[in-house]
Structure 1
Amino acid sequence: MQIFLDCANSLCVPLAQEKTEGPCEVIIFLGLEIDTVQMVVRIPQSKVEEVIKKIEDLIGEQKTTLREMQSLIGYLNFCCRAIAVGRPFCRRLINSICGLTMPHHHLRISKGVRLDLAMWLKFFKAFNGISVFHDRYWLSNVDMNLYTDSAGGPNLGFGIYFQGQWSYAPWPADWHSADITKDITALELFPILVSLHIWGSQFQNKKIKFNCDNMAVVHIINTMTSRSDNVMCILRLLTLACLDNNTLIRAQLVEGSKNLICDALSRLQLNRFRDLAPEAELEPCPFPTHLWNVFNPEQSNC
């Protein structure tokens, strides 16, 4: 700091002394308290309470004004400085105000916007205003020994393997009747959501990069958005799980990647699975059955 001050003085660069602080281990920057000892960022609790009130005021309305929506977006963008994983879920709110110019102009609160607001509200009501720094390096799912796979079709399902622990399940009958099992993108995302619900506490503060041979899935994970309503239902719960565990996820395209262990699980071939992973635990981890309601937000209980 002293070297910088001496340099600025020699160059006759004026500095605002009232805005000069440090060096210190805890500093207020852009309204956030950054603590390099405990490695956390703290959002003022008053801001958290204000954003909760703004969401509650809007979520039950059919319409709102440009001024009110801009105010909410401003609060969410402020919070996303500390909780970056939620930033993509400000996008639909921002898109909703495109083309409006006057503060008193009204806009309709669509079903998609309402669902995004419900996700934010659930998170903020359990959020204590403290965000822990993420681990420094990205870990691939290979580094973590975490694999997922899905197979669409009758008598098929999904499989997950994580460091000897595993889980699997066949697709429910109502998914087949609703043609959900024909949407391979949604099916590929679903076991990632399940893994965060089963082992999320072990993924806390980590940055995980999934290797995937499906370009559409890679794009959706990296942007956290999709035109598909079914995929957005999964992404909302996926984002909420990431928010709860302060986990960042990304994906990279890997052509022709082999995933034999989870391929066996997704095809319900347990004998083949045992041959491929003899070190796996004897019993699967319980599947959180409420996730079968992921496409019915009112019933998902997530």
Structure 2
Amino acid sequence: MHKTVCPVIFLEYLGIILDSEEMEAPLLQEKVDQICEFISSINVKSSCSKREVLQLLGHLNFASRVILPGRYVVSYLISLSTKAKELHHYVRLDKECWILISNFGYDSLRIGMELICFIILHNISNYDMKLLTDASSTIGFGRYFVGKWFYSSWPTEIKKTTQTVNMQWHCFELYPIVVAAILWAPHGKGKKCYFGLLICLQLRL
């Protein structure tokens, strides 16, 4: 591989593609396949050796460069690896462990979320983005973004939860913010939006 290249839109660096046109940084497909293959090889096991846990840790630590939620999985695996003293000793992989690995590792890689946008370092107010949300604990919630808006009543799951748990007001406020971020994320790609509730969301596809 040449150390110097002419000006290009796509540049490979340490297994990551730097895309200056889409402002994204996906993993090489070869790396994605390698990580998914290893996860599949141990997916049927209820326990793994410390060596295998450390191998998985290495793979997901690399992937967490472009899958931000993967950093939590990395921390979890580090903690899990300390339960075995020697490399040939085994540790139990419980249901919680596999849910984490599945949600933020295997599934994210397979469905094409293996990328991170180039992030604007400073936070942007939701008012600057003209992104507003509001919620009522009894009626529902609404969202507004640059002339577009809609409202909805609370989902059945939320209603059931409020009947059994004394939900705090910020839980009701957070729900429409997350929905708005998912719905309109492409319009704020690469930005960090501050909502005034000590909540900062990184908007990405």
With the length of structure 2 as denominator, give the TM-score of the two structures: 0.74
- The whole-number CA distance in structure 2 between the counterparts of 1:74 and 1:186 is 35
Which deviations, in whole Å up to 9, do the C-alpha atoms of 1:57-82 show, x marking residues without a partner?
A: 34443322222222122112212223
Q: In the aligned structure 1, how far is the partner of 2:150 from the partner of 2:74? A: 33
1:93 corresponds to which of 77, 82, 85: 77
Distance 1:115 1:168 in 2: 32
Counterpart secondary structure, 1:158: strand
Q: Does 1:161 align with 2:144?
A: yes
User: Paired residues, what number?
Assistant: 199
More displaced, 137-146 or 123-132?
A: 123-132
* Residue equivalent to 1:22: 4
In structure 2, C-alpha distance between the alignment counterparts of 1:212 and 1:126, rounded to whole Å: 32
Give the alignment's TM-score, normalised by structure 1. 0.54
Q: Is the 8 A contact 1:59 1:117 kept in 2?
A: no
Does the aligned pair in 1 maintain the 2:120–2:192 contact within 8 Å?
no
State the 1:211 CA deviation.
2.7
Greater C-alpha radius of gyration? 1
Summarize deviations over 1:204-243 as a string: whole Å, max 9, x none: x322222333x5xx4xx68xxxxxxxxxxxxxxxx9xx66
Aligned-pair CA distance for 1:194: 1.3
The 8 Å contact of residues 160 and 168 in structure 1, kept in 2 or not, is answered as yes
**Identity between Structure 1 and Structure 2 (%):** 26
- Which residue in 2 is equivalent to 1:176? 162
Report the equivalent of 1:43.
27
Shift of 1:123: 1.6
Q: What is the Cα deviation at residue 124 of structure 1?
A: 1.0
User: In the alignment, is the contact (CA less than 8 A) between 1:141 and 1:208 conserved in 2?
Assistant: no
> Alpha-carbon deviations, 1:49-106, whole Å to 9, x = none?
1211233334443322222222122112212223445433432233322343322222
Q: Please state if 1:124 is matched with 2:109.
A: yes
Distance in 2 separating the partners of 1:146 and 1:94: 38
Structure 1 vs Structure 2 CA RMSD: 3.3
- Compare 156-165 and 72-81 and name the one that shifted more: 156-165
Provide closer, same or farther for how the CA distance between residues 33 and 66 of structure 1 changes in structure 2, counting only shifts above 3 A.
same
Are the structure 2 counterparts of residues 66 and 127 from structure 1 closer, same or farther at C-alpha, using a change threshold of 3 Å? same
Structure 2, gaps ≥5 residues long:
none
Q: Is the alpha carbon distance of 1:21 and 1:47 closer, same or farther for their aligned partners in structure 2, counting shifts above 3 Å?
A: same
